[in-house]
Amino acid sequence: MSALKTLFDLSGKTAVVTGGSRGLGLQIAEALGEFGARLVLVSRKAVDLEQAVEQLRASGCEAVAEAADLGTSGAAEAVIEAALRAYGEIDILVNNAGATWGAPAEEHPLEAWNKVMNLNITGVFLLTQAVGRRCMIPNRRGRIINIASIEGLQGHMPSMGGALAYCTSKGGIVNFTRALAVEWGRYGITVNAIAPGYFPSKMTRVMLDKHEVEVVRTTPLGKLGGPDDLKGVAVLLASAAGAHITGQTLVVDGGASVI
């Protein structure tokens, strides 16, 4: 029987965290780094990445960065090459990068739909496929954590306007997680999703400026997600402690989705 705290130890593991320069991605990176993982942060903006890496290193984490737009072709291979140059392996993949667009369904621009889908679905598929081929399947081990949303499990609140592409993409991530867990279980790879509720972030800023009171009122715990609220579940799913969990979507929303 293993000592409980050793089950959460990520020492010697390499974790790629997309959208890792701020918000939920940086929160997850902080948690994985605190438990010993070597971090590769991915985001579009190099300046934001540099600041995040400095912050992580100041707290004792080992981290590098790779600027990439995961909604474009070729980005997945560039990320993998950067991770392998730095650390020689990829053990954990956190697919957090995402985009949204607010518009009524009948007015939703095709260009915006494609932008959301290219990053939230196609980009996740391409990076996950490439990491599986290059690292996880040959090694017959790995942890994949996809960041979904409670809006992939339910519709957008009608008072907040339309977000059809975002909701559709996050629903796709939920079933992508299930289907991939079935296929890759034989390789010793676990595939799970986290579905956050409403957290303060750049993506949610405009919505929360208008609707925070309503969101909090309809959340049983009576608050938004905080800076530590994804950390425990991320470490669980990335570590040996979560070795027998796969194909699952764990909701972290203060109870909002149960109403």
Q: 110-145 b/e with 16+ CB inside 10 Å = b?
A: eebbebbbbbbbbbbebbbebbbebbbbeeeebbbb
pLDDT grade for 4, boundaries at 50, 70 and 90: confident
pLDDT digits (tens, 9 = 90+) for 72-118: 989 999 999 999 999 999 999 999 999 999 999 999 999 999 999 99
Q: How many residues does the chain have?
A: 259
3 state SS of 146: strand
Q: Is 87 a catalytic residue?
A: no
Phi, psi of 224 (to 5 degrees): -80, 165
Please compute the mean of the pLDDT values over residues 150-158 and round it to a whole number: 87
CATH class of 4-258: alpha beta
pLDDT digits (tens, 9 = 90+) for 179-230: 999 999 999 999 999 999 999 988 888 888 888 999 999 999 999 999 999 9
How far, in Å, CA of 230 to CA of 107, rounded? 34
In the chain, where the domains are located: 4-258
The whole-chain average pLDDT of the chain stands at: 96
Lowest-pLDDT range of 17-26, 37-46, 155-164, 165-174: 155-164
Within 8 A by CB and 6+ apart from 44, the residues are 67, 68, 69
**Annotated active-site residue in 87, 166, 187, 198:** 166
